Amino acid sequence: MPIWDDIVDVVVDNLMFDLHKTVGRMFQKVADRIGWGGRKPDERQSPKAFGAWAEDRAGEFLESQGMKILCRNYRTGWGELDLVAKDGEFIVFVEVKAGRGVDLEPELKVNRHKRRRMKIAARSFAARKNIQDAPMRFDIVTVEMDEGGNVKIEHEENAFTYEGR
């Protein structure tokens, strides 16, 4: 009987290895399609998937600059924050703008209506986390990819203020 146990073990190991490879390939195809992982997106990718990919790159960039990402895609009924980070004593609310093959003008992409919605979402986040007294700022990160697949990331600190409407 021990030989049958060995044969069963070998067969199960091979099946599990093949299953693992197959599932891994399937997951990678799905991840590539929706923009997860470090791979660069391609032109077939949806704008939503490209935006998610850009938000991941922006988060990695901010972390490389010493920030700590506290939250991603914080949503309220009135607005959304792409990223919330901590930079020293500051709580930083980040809007990520992504583009393919075009130069982005971040100040043009974040109009006063978007700024107002971000401020409302920031107030909500601060109240929920009980950090209303912390100094806050709003940053814009642009992630651009040219036709050759080269990625350029720009970070505009303190792009607009919390005060005012």
The string of pLDDT tens digits covering residues 65-108 is 999 999 999 999 888 999 999 999 999 999 999 887 766 665 56
Amino acid sitting at position 115 = R
Domain 41-160, classified CATH 3.40.1350.10, yes or no: yes
Q: Which residue has the higher pLDDT, 147 or 92?
A: 92
Cα–Cα distance between 80 and 116 in angstroms, integer?
11
**Alpha helices of the chain — where are they, by DSSP H?**
2-34, 47-64, 106-109, 112-129
Residue indicated by tokens 């700024």: 115
User: How many Å separate Cα 163 from the centre of its chain?
Assistant: 26
SS3 100: strand
For the beta carbon of residue 145, count every other beta carbon within 10 angstroms: 22
Q: How large is the average pLDDT for residues 108-133?
A: 90
Residue-level pLDDT at 65: 96
Residue-level pLDDT at 29: 56
For the beta carbon of residue 117, count every other beta carbon within 10 angstroms: 15
| Predicted TM-score of the model (pTM) | 0.71
Distance of CA 12 to CAs 1, 9, 157, Å?
17, 5, 55
Contact by Cβ (8 Å): 93, 118: yes
- Alpha-carbon torsion (36, 41, 45, 50), positive or negative: positive
Cα–Cα distance between 13 and 6 in angstroms, integer?
10
